[in-house]
Amino acid sequence: MNEPERPLRLDATREEALEHAAKLVAEAWRSFDRFRPEEPALDDRVRELIRGALPEEPVPVHEALDDAARILDESIAQPRPRYFAFIGSSGLEIGTIGDLLAQTYDINLAVDARAATVVEHQAVRWVAEFVGYPSAGGAFTSGGTISNLTAIAVARERALPGSRHRGLAASHPAVYCSEEVHYSVTRAVELLGIGSDNLRAIPLDGLRRMRPDLLAETIDADLAAGVTPVAVIATGGTTLTGAVDPIGELADVCGPRDVWLHVDGAYGLPAAAVRPELFDGLERADSCSIDAHKWLYVPKACGVVMSRHAGVFAGAFAHEEGYLPHQQHELHAADITLEYSRPFRALKAWLAFRAHGAKQFRDAIAKNLDEAEFLYRHAQATEDFEVMEAPPQLSITPIRHMPDGVVPNPHNQALADAIQSDGRVYLASALIDGDVWLRPCFVNFRTTEDDVLALMDVARALGERLARDGA
Ligand SMILES: Cc1ncc(COP(=O)(O)O)c(C=O)c1O
């Protein structure tokens, strides 16, 4: 196994380094199969490593890899089955392997890269087909933030043609969303010059979904005042509670008023493959975002943005630069997205669909939906936990620990902090209508019902201790 003479050689052969790395990866996967009883504290070796200055001379590659694995093992890893905070990701094994392969070839999908470019288009179609969206084209992105920004840029150019060149100086644009929209939309309107003061937060109904009647009123008032509605952003699974805005009814408002409807399904849209009725009207949305690195389980970063209208992304993003070949516009992702250097993110989603098949994904998503429901029913049946009035629409189940005699908000905040330092389960708190809740989210294929019960047991044990200690 003679490697060529060249700079940047390791002290072991590439094959040995890869074999060693493969062992470390397999160990990590084994450790994710089951919960671990607690999160380890940073040990002396890691403390020493993170203080280290830029090394001038090499260390043996096996040692460097062992150190990297040790740092990772002492970090908060979302693939662990009892990670319930935020919206985690699971690091699906075939996705990790896909990343390794993709990074090995290090293809740039800015301009046509032949087979990889076509596979990216195919993977967009597969994701679209999986959720039942009639996509005419789209692209992989680094996630919901960039997908939402991309779609709103398209909507802005459509509502105000030429504004990408002229700017927005003489216009009065507005974007509409639910009060519980993800803040990536707020950031997008800020970056696109629309301004977050012109983001209209439409009040919610009893299920925490955007109210179509109030949306219609707000748009009509804006139109009468000379404002240009750029887009309505429906959320297909809010980050706070998993509420799905009524997409069909929102499409009824947008259609006659000719307003672009974007569905931010970064978190929830995969559930359309299992509960299509919740996403009724999705096929009428002008564009949508979906994160494969959330509920399609593959590792970050893997988002998708797509539209049912052909050619719209190029209308907002294409440039004629001398150094870009333009004979095959439709194959140049740089003409339809924000980024130039683009890794082959699509490969891990493509491989995951091939290696598992769509059915396995539907089953895993259905299991997560069941876990959310299971927690809801269990917590509801107890004396000391409170749940929200309506059962979860998707896989987020907010609960509050409410034993007699505690002050609910400080108690639940202290409990969320105690759970995080305890380390047996990982949970975050959330503010819902000004109240502090524990907010577990189930998007991991490794999680079991035992893990869900452990969540309640740990919360109860720590909560009782805090209540006894008067916190
Ligand atoms: C509804 C929604 N939209 C957008 C985002 C942002 O996605 P990303 O973190 O992939 O940029 C999130 C992240 O949680 C989300 O829940």
Q: What confidence tens digit (pLDDT) does each residue in 246-292 have?
A: 999 999 999 999 999 999 999 999 999 999 999 999 999 999 999 99
pLDDT in tens, 141-168: 999 999 999 999 999 999 999 999 999 9
One-letter amino acid identity for 435?
Answer: D
* 436 occurs within a structural domain: no
Residue keyed to tokens 């748009």:
219
Whether the per-residue pLDDT at 326 is higher than 90: the answer is: no
Burial class (CB in 10 A: 0-12, 13-18, 19+), 32: buried
Number of helices (H), then strands (E), belonging to the chain: the values are 15, 11
Ligand 1 mean position, distance from CA 241 (Å): 13
Closest ligand 1 atom to residue 87 Cα is: 14
Q: What does the pLDDT read at residue 4?
A: 81
Q: Which amino acid is at 228?
A: T
State the distance from the centre of ligand 1 to the C-alpha of 145, rounded, in angstroms. 6
Other CB atoms within a 10 A radius of the CB of residue 337 amount to 24
Alpha helices in 39-142 (DSSP H): 44-50, 61-73, 93-105, 115-131
Cross-strand pairs, 199? 175
- Is 180 a pocket residue for ligand 1 (Cβ < 6 Å)? no
Last residue of a domain, one of 333, 353, 373: 353
Is the pLDDT assigned to residue 1 strictly greater than 60? no
Residue 184 Cα to ligand 1 midpoint, Å, equals: 7
Question: Does the predicted TM-score (pTM) go above 0.85?
Answer: yes
Q: Tell me if 161 is assigned to some domain.
A: yes
Check residue 166 and give its pLDDT: 95
One domain, residues 49 and 137 = no
The phi, psi pair for 318, rounded to 5°, reads -70, 145
425 part of a folded domain: no
Pocket probe mutation, ligand 1, options 86, 142, 184, 394, max atoms within 8 Å of Cβ? 184
Kindly give the number of the ligand 1 atom that is closest to the alpha carbon of 300. Answer: 10
Domain of residue 34 covers 14-76
Range from 169-173, 188-192, 399-403 carrying the lowest mean pLDDT: 169-173
Please work out whether the CB of residue 144 comes within 6 Å of at least one atom of ligand 1.
Answer: yes
Atom 5, ligand 1: which residue's CA is nearest?
A: 144
Q: Are residues 20 and 116 both part of a single domain?
A: no
Do 273 and 303 belong together in one domain? yes
- According to DSSP, the β-strands at 137-141 and 173-178 are unpaired
382 domain-assigned: no
70 and 147 fall within a common domain: no
| Residue 470 confidence (pLDDT) | 78
Which of 328, 353, 378 is where one domain is finished? Answer: 353
Q: How confident is the model at residue 385 (pLDDT cuts 50, 70, 90)?
A: very high
Q: What per-residue confidence (pLDDT) applies to 5?
A: 87
Q: Domains in the chain: how many in total?
A: 2
User: Which of 332, 353, 374 finishes a domain?
Assistant: 353
Local confidence band at 53 (pLDDT 50, 70, 90 cut-offs)? very high
Alpha carbons within 13 angstroms on the beta-carbon side of residue 9 total 9
Q: What is the pLDDT of residue 38?
A: 87
- The mean predicted confidence, pLDDT, of the chain is 96
Residue 184 lies in a domain: yes
Tokens representing 131 are 């959720």
pLDDT above 80 (res 8): yes
Q: Is residue 249 part of a domain?
A: yes
pLDDT of residue 329: 66
Q: Are residues 72 and 147 located together in one domain of the fold?
A: no
pLDDT at 3 (0 to 100): 78
CATH code at position 130? 3.40.640.10
The finding on whether 178 has its CB within 6 A of some atom of ligand 1 is no
Query: Is 303 near ligand 1, meaning CB less than 6 Å away?
Result: yes
Q: Residue 328 — very low, low, confident or very high, per pLDDT cuts 50/70/90?
A: low
For residue 142, the model assigns a pLDDT of 98
Spacing, Cα 21 to ligand 1 middle (Å): 31
Q: Are residues 152 and 255 in the same domain?
A: yes
| pLDDT value, residue 331 | 75
Nearest CA to 262 out of 217, 224, 305, 201 is that of 305
Q: Summarize pLDDT for 87-119 with one digit per residue, the tens.
A: 999 999 999 999 999 999 999 999 999 999 999
pLDDT classification of 319: cutoffs 50, 70, 90: confident
Q: What is the pLDDT of residue 105?
A: 98
Q: Please indicate, yes or no, whether residues 18 and 61 belong to a single structural domain of this protein.
A: yes
Alpha-carbon 229 to chain mean position: 27
pLDDT on residue 170: 87
The answer as to whether 365 is a domain residue is no
Shared domain check, 296 and 149: yes
| 141 Cβ inside 6 Å of ligand 1 | no
Asked if 305 and 123 count as a contact pair (C-beta separation under 8 A), the reply is no
Least confident of 186-195, 275-284, 330-339, 363-372: 330-339
Q: At what angle do helices 408-422 and 449-469 cross, to 10 degrees?
A: 120
Domain annotation covers residue 228:
yes
- Do residues 128 and 253 both lie within one domain? yes
140 Cβ inside 6 Å of ligand 1: no
Distance CA 395, CA 80 (A): 17
CB 451 within 8 A of CB 81: yes
pLDDT at 321 over 80: no
Asked if residue 99 lies in contact with residue 25, where contact means CB atoms within 8 angstroms, the answer is no
292 CA to centre of ligand 1 in angstroms: 11
pLDDT at 327 over 70: no
Q: Cα separation of 198 and 194, whole Å?
A: 7
